[in-house]
Amino acid sequence: AIVGGPLLFLLGNLLFKQAVFGKFALSHVCGALGLIAAFPAHEHLSPLALAAIAAALLFAVGVWENISVKSQK
């Protein structure tokens, strides 16, 4: 659930942006891949550490998206 929620959010947002704007958000794909890569670590990390990784990845996606949108204007 710690990784699944953010992953579902990114994939849903990716599909929404594809349907509405017709653009493929590479930041969301990379964020989703990062969350998928972090999933096997759940056996070795505390839930707090895994949540921190998920939050950091979502933050990175947000920063990337913000920079990408600003550069297109």
pLDDT at residue 51 greater than cutoff 90: yes
Q: What does the pLDDT read at residue 49?
A: 94
> How many Å is the Cα radius of gyration of the chain?
13
State how far the Cα of 71 lies from the Cα of 41, in Å rounded to an integer: 35
State how far the Cα of 28 lies from the Cα of 10, in Å rounded to an integer: 6
pLDDT tens track for 61-71: 999 999 988 88
State how far the Cα of 29 lies from the Cα of 63, in Å rounded to an integer: 14
pLDDT tens track for 2-50: 999 999 999 999 999 999 989 888 999 999 999 999 999 888 999 999 9
Q: What does the pLDDT read at residue 70?
A: 86
| DSSP-derived secondary structure for 23-58 | ---HHHHHHHHHHHHHGGGGGTS-HHHHHHHHHHHH
Predicted TM-score of the model (pTM):
0.89
pLDDT at residue 73 greater than cutoff 80: no
